[in-house]
Amino acid sequence: EAQVTQNPRYLITVTGKKLTVTCSQNMNHEYMSWYRQDPGLGLRQIYYSMNVEVTDKGDVPEGYKVSRKEKRNFPLILESPSPNQTSLYFCASKGQGRAEAFFGQGTRLTVV
C-alpha cells in the first residue's frame, strides 16, 4: 500500500530536549516536505527536499533541521524544542512532475 508513515503519532516532551520525528514513504517520490498546522494559521511549510541531499527552507524553518540521506526518509529534528513549537506536524511526499501530495497521519507534539 502506498503510504507516508510518520512516527511517533503523539509526543510530549520538555523544553530543550532534542527530538526527532521520522517520516518514510514507499512511493519512490523525489519530493518530501514538512508542515506544521496551527489553529488560524493553516498549514505552513517548514522544510522541503527535492531529492537526496537537497533540502531547502520553507516558510517557517527557525528551530528545525532536516536531512535527506535516503530517498525514502526525511526526518525532522528539533535540537532544542520550545513551547512555541507545540503543534501538529505533517510530512508529505510528491512525485516529480506530479501535482498531488500524499500526507502522513500527523504527529501531535507538545513541548512543556
Number of residues that bind another protein (CB under 8 A): 26
Closer to another protein by CB, 48 or 74: give it. Answer: 48
Greatest Cα pair distance, the chain, in angstroms, is 41
- As given in the structure block, the three cell numbers for residue 43 are 498549514
Contact letters for another protein, residues 60-99 (x by CB under 8 A): ------------------------------x-x-x-xxxx
3-state secondary structure string, 54-89?
A: EEEECCCCCCCEECCCCCCECCEEECCCCHHHCEEE
Closer to another protein by CB, 36 or 85: give it. Answer: 36
Task: Tell which residue, 92, 90, 93, 83, has the closest CA to residue 107.
Answer: 90
Instruction: List, in sequence order, every residue forming a beta bridge with 25; answer none if it has no partner.
Output: 4
Residue 18 CB, nearest distance to another protein (Å)?
25
- As given in the structure block, the three cell numbers for residue 12 are 510530549
Question: Does residue 42 belong to the site contacting another protein (CB under 8 A)?
Answer: yes
Out of 71, 73, 106, 110, point to the residue binding another protein (CB under 8 A). 106
Using CB under 8 A as the criterion, which residues of the chain lie in contact with another protein when the complex forms? 4, 31, 33, 35, 40-43, 45, 48, 50, 58, 90, 92, 94, 96-106
